[in-house]
Amino acid sequence: MATVTFKIYRYKPGAIDPPRYDTFRVEVEDHTTVLDVLETLRLDDLTLTYRHSCHHGSCGTCGMLVNGREVLACVTNVLALKTDEVVVEPLRNAPLVSDLVVDMTPFFEKYEPVGMPYIRRSEYLPEARPPEAVGEYMRFESCLECGLCLSACPVVASDAHYLGPAALAAAARVVQEPRGHDLPAIFQMVDNDEGCWRCHAAMECSSVCPNGVDPGGMIMFLRKMLLTQRR
């Protein structure tokens, strides 16, 4: 048991406007996560809004800034932060809806046109026979679509037109495993004024990615492809 101060960003159009920080003293245990704290606080103040779903780092909905860094609140242990004061803020570079909730529409506007299938047929163990009910073994793409990378990227921060790390990483995945995709269209999407050349390798996308997608590395993969391959 320890007591930690939580400073939480609050904003509601028309109600809490301009934004402010609410401060709470919170008792936390060894296993308490930032999301646990938010859920406890919400019992006393039902107007506190945040997004969450799975509680185990696989849905990518609870992305937020904790002490200035993009994390999934559900897998961020409070005591592991090793600070007496924990500052919780909404993700950057996205329209702010309320408190810790941002509008993910701009993320999906860039991400979906790439058309990366997020479930693929597994290429491993083709001889393995899955149970009848399962049909065939599937493998998930790593991207959780949480948007942490867009929040951390300094180019996205100043230019809304830039395709951004998530969409570029998805495009790179499609290039790596085309499986019937229209590659010229993908290359056209990434090889232009809004595409992979706009990255300045701050690599913050890769360092905040909660699932090892390494968008920065994927952008460098796209560059290498575009620089060296005859198409």
Min dist. Cβ of residue 144 to another protein (A): 19
165, burial (CB in 10 Å: exposed 0-12, middle 13-18, buried 19+): buried
Q: Is 187 helix (H, G, I), strand (E, B) or coil?
A: helix
3-class secondary structure, 20? strand
Residue 139 Cβ vs another protein, minimum distance, rounded to whole Å: 23
**Between 28 and 94, CB nearer to another protein:** 94
Radius of gyration of the chain from Cα atoms?
20
- Judged on CB neighbours under 10 Å (0-12, 13-18, 19+), 191 is middle
- Shortest distance (Å) from residue 217 CB to another protein: 5
Residue 174 or 205: the one with the smaller Cβ distance to another protein is 205
Which positions lie near another protein, rule CB under 8 A? Answer: 11, 13-14, 65, 67-70, 92-97, 102-103, 152, 154-155, 157-162, 191-193, 195, 197-198, 200-204, 207, 216-217, 220-221, 223-224, 226-228
Whole-angstrom Cα distance, residue 27 to residue 4? 6
State the minimum distance, in angstroms, from the CB of residue 148 to another protein: 11
Token digits of residue 198: 């706009």
Which residue, 16 or 122, is less far from another protein as judged by CB?
A: 16
Task: Please list the residues that pair with 69 across neighbouring strands.
Answer: 66
Give the residue with the Cβ less far from another protein, 145 or 191. 191
**Closer of 30 and 103 to another protein (Cβ):** 103
CB of 159 to another protein, least distance (A): 3
How far apart (Å, rounded) are the C-alpha atoms in residues 82 and 140? 33
